[in-house]
Structure 1
Amino acid sequence: MSAPLTLDPFYLIVDTAHWVARLVPLGVKLVQLRAKNLPEAELRRQIRRARETCAAHRCRLVVNDHWRLAIEEGCDLVHLGQEDLAAADRGAIARAGVKLGLSTHDERELATALEAEPDYVALGPIWPTILKAMAWAPQTPDRLALWRAAIGPLPLVAIGGVTVERLPEVFAQGADSAAVVTDITRHADPEARTREWIAATETWRREPD
């Protein structure tokens, strides 16, 4: 059995390769490209641009949802929601050597995720989020401790309403990484806020596998 994946404690999520090119050079080491509702040719172009930026700056790229394109474009990680997991070819993902991250929102989804033997698990929303409408109430940081006990050595990602100021709470409850979208992309100065995140997570940073 391979050693557990090591994730950077700062997990940036953006929706275009432009954001990747804008923020990764500042020192981001883990970024997810969450591109929605694009034609396949444009999705592929976005993934390629993001991958090139990440390769130049020693940053890990996670592709959201589009596992086939992640395999074809030689990406390292893919992140799937529960519905996407049901339709995905997990064998193909594993054979390609692509690491798999899964979203969870309740105990049933956690059980489903663990059956799929992922490389990391995400729990959210920890706090209310303005990113999208959610069917689940905020989990609160305390729930992270329950997930931490349930998943053993797998990396645990906290997502939903996480800000720089809230980082101590999620790490204290067992999260290995904190995912962020709007606290950076809707900030008046995304570059300055990104630097704040990098500085604030330095204490928990380890070298990746």
Structure 2
Amino acid sequence: MTRAYPDRFYPVVDSIRTLMDLAALGVGTIQLRVKDLGEAQAAALVGEAVESVQGSPVRLVINDYWRAAIVGGASHLHLGQEDLATADVPAIRAAGLTLGISTHDEAELETALAHRPDYIALGPIYPTTIKPMRFGPQGLDRIGVWKKRIGAIPLVAIGGITLERAPSVYAAGADSIAVVSDIANADDPDTRVREWLALEPAGD
């Protein structure tokens, strides 16, 4: 059975060390998101990240640094709306990268769909303190609305989602949940990751 992309549990991390730790625990899809790097720094980071998961089943998703992702031989890319506006999407596609796109409102969803993304992300579902947000919490109902709009395209929910909230988020229509603080702030991150993985239905 072919694994869905992205996996239902989709952690977002900010270091190679954490990336490797999660890969060792059996996580299938992991996004590396490190902000405010120069072009040379981004290229070095992406190259190291790609090498760190080479030969493993991990689908490594690079956040924003599309040029570095192409040069570094990455396979998966995630873009926010600001980066999407300046990215060379034909070059990204020509390099064979998948493309996931963040959305927060109807206009952004239309923009994202015009690029035929491999998944759509919606957030924040709940209040989050990870970064300043221009948009308020979307809520569970919006997940269902987005899923009806995008059909077979996978929908990734992100923002303030804990393990305890996850069943409701999946039930609302999310195909995948991107997780940041629920792992990073856990007393025992490894145990928390295993609990997330155990939440996945058999066969996924």
Asked if structure 2 preserves the Cα contact closer than 8 Å seen for 1:16 and 1:46, the reply is no
Q: TM-score, normalised by structure 1?
A: 0.92
Q: Distance in 2 between matches of 1:63 and 1:109?
A: 20
> Residue 95 of structure 2 aligns with which residue?
96
Q: Assess, with a 3 A threshold, how the Cα gap between structure 1 residues 21 and 6 changes in structure 2: closer, same or farther.
A: closer
Q: Deviations over 1:78-120 (max 9, x none)?
A: 1001111110111001111100000000111101111111111
What is the deviation of 1:54?
2.3
> Residue 40 of structure 1 aligns with which residue?
39
Structure 1 gaps, min length 5: none
Q: Distance in 1 between matches of 2:74 and 2:202?
A: 25
The answer to whether structure 1 residue 78 and structure 2 residue 103 are counterparts is: no
- Higher mean alpha-carbon deviation, 167-176 vs 42-51, is at 42-51
Q: Distance in 2 between matches of 1:45 and 1:120?
A: 26
- Higher mean alpha-carbon deviation, 122-131 vs 51-60, is at 51-60
> Residue 15 of structure 2 aligns with which residue?
16
Structure 2 gaps, min length 5: none
What is the deviation of 1:35?
0.9
Q: Distance in 2 between matches of 1:205 and 1:93?
A: 31
Q: Highest relative contact order (Cα 8 Å, sep 6+), 1 or 2? A: 1
Asked if structure 1 preserves the Cα contact closer than 8 Å seen for 2:43 and 2:71, the reply is no
1:86-165 correspondence runs (5 A): 86-165=85-164
What is the deviation of 1:6?
2.8
Q: Distance in 2 between matches of 1:119 and 1:204?
A: 23
Count of residues in Structure 1 that have an aligned counterpart in Structure 2: 201
Q: Assess, with a 3 A threshold, how the Cα gap between structure 1 residues 21 and 137 changes in structure 2: closer, same or farther.
A: same
